[in-house]
Amino acid sequence: MARVAVTADPLDLPALTAELTGSGVGDGAVTTFVGLVRDHNQGRRVLFLEYEAYEPLAVRALNRIVDEAADSWPGTRLGVHHRIGRLELGEASIIIVAASKHRADAFAACRYTIERVKQIVPIWKHEHFEGGDVWLEGATADPEDAAAREAAHRIACA
């Protein structure tokens, strides 16, 4: 299984966890993050989401984040899968697995990854709610923006 993926298929956390942890007994910690489709957003009743990606660049950006995390927390290994297409309420949109010798690094790398995904990965949510639909727009993606990277790092280590 690829450690980084953008896929229309349902995400498989046990399989990605096994991929990250199957190779030895040196790890002391595995942390996971699962992002879910919520039934409300900014006062709107959400019906479902559609995710769109610029796939080759999204995969490239995810790999960049994995490399950044490996620099910050040496020895920590990461897997990130992001789903695209139509997602119903309660479904997982993203799964992240971080395996490390120590829990502090595993927690931090996991948190850093989701913060960076929201900053630089070219994926968009199209929210369909009761009464309409809207494209959500968050951060202007700039992987070279050192301040953004630093902000993600601060949150990860808070």
Partner 1 sequence: MRITVRLFARLRDLAGSGELVRDLSGPATVKTVWQELVAEMPALGDYERTMSVAVNADYSKMSAPVNDGDEVAFLPPVSGG
**Whose Cβ is closer to partner 1: residue 17's or residue 143's?**
143
Token pair belonging to 34: 């699962």
Q: Is residue 78 part of the contact set for partner 1 (CB under 8 A)? A: no
Does residue 16 touch partner 1 according to CB under 8 A?
no
Alpha-carbon gap, residue 34 to 126, rounded angstroms: 19
Is 91 near partner 1 (CB under 8 A)? no
How far does the chain reach from its first CA to its final CA, in angstroms?
32
Is the CB of 51 or the CB of 107 nearer to partner 1? 51
The site for partner 1, by CB under 8 A, has a size of: 34
Query: How many other CB atoms are there within 10 angstroms of residue 21's CB atom?
Result: 15
Main-chain dihedrals φ then ψ at residue 69, nearest 5 degrees? -65, -35
Q: Cβ of residue 12: shortest distance to partner 1, in angstroms? A: 18
- How is residue 16 annotated by DSSP? H
Other C-beta atoms lying within 10 Å of the C-beta of residue 149: 20
* 124's tokens: 């968009």
Q: Does 139 bind partner 1 (CB under 8 A)?
A: yes
Of 125 and 153, which CB lies nearer to partner 1 in the complex structure?
125
CA 109, 55, 76: angle at the middle one, nearest 5? Answer: 15
CB of 14 to partner 1, least distance (A): 21
- Which DSSP category does 54 fall into? -
Q: With respect to partner 1, which residue has the nearer C-beta, 2 or 18? A: 2
CB of 146 to partner 1, least distance (A): 15
Radius of gyration of the chain (CA): 16
Of 27, 68, 69, 82, which one interacts with partner 1 (CB under 8 A)? Answer: 82
- Is 136 an interacting residue with respect to partner 1 (CB under 8 A)? yes
User: Where on the chain is the footprint of partner 1 (CB under 8 A)?
Assistant: 35, 51-54, 56-58, 60-61, 82, 93-94, 114, 117-126, 135-144
